[in-house]
Amino acid sequence: MRLNNELIVLDLEATSNQEDAAERPAVQTNNFIIEIGAAFLDRDLKLVDTFQRLVRPEEPITPFITEITSITPEMCEGQPLWGEIASEFESWIMRHCDNIKRVRLCAWGTYFDMPLLRRTYDRYGRPFPFSGTCFDVKTLAMLWTALSGRRTDKLGVETVASMMGVQPEGRYHRALTDAVTEAKILQRVCADLEGGFFAPGPPGKPRPHFRIEKIS
């Protein structure tokens, strides 16, 4: 499978977690990034490079967030603010792609990482350099799960990775671990769709899903 665009699978850890943000959108207004992780996939969906940085937030990191992420206030003390990290992040992307607008961002759901990233750019008075198009890895994972005959409720990165046999390369709820794991999930979904994994079963024993033709 060859895509028209390069992909960046992005994960952000912040001073409020995804569950809070999903249930109480107002939480997002005063939410600050504390870590960014990203995986760069070329047009053939090959993992080319990764990016990870801790960010000094403008709001305290609570014990609750530390418990979830293992990120402590001390770890972020002395780290750059987002304005400096953003420049470094964009430079990293441009090492692998000559047009940042051509890159498509991917995230696990569209309600947390993308809105937070946009608001953070706005907060620092920086133009948002990316296309508005975002791939939702969670939706693709739900498709894979449904076509595999499994339940799709309460699907998190850990659950889907376990179904696929994908092993994390670090601790979950750290930005780089989650980003790389999501990238591997995306690779698996695309490979299975292209390879005809979801084919009908033998006569008399049909599988509860259907065949998806090869994607060019």
Question: What is the β-pairing status of strands 7-14 and 33-41?
Answer: antiparallel
CATH number assigned to the domain covering 7-194: 3.30.420.10
Q: Could you tell me the maximum CA-CA distance found in the chain, to the nearest angstrom?
A: 65
CB neighbours of residue 96 within 10 Å: 14
**Distance, CA of 89 to CA of 107 (rounded, Å):** 16
pLDDT tens for each residue of the chain, 216 residues long: 788 899 999 999 999 865 555 555 545 567 899 999 999 999 999 999 999 999 999 999 999 999 999 999 999 999 999 999 999 999 999 999 999 999 999 999 888 899 999 999 999 999 999 987 888 999 999 999 998 888 888 889 999 999 999 999 999 999 999 999 999 999 999 998 887 655 444 444 444 443 333 333
- pLDDT for 186: 96
pTM for the model: 0.86
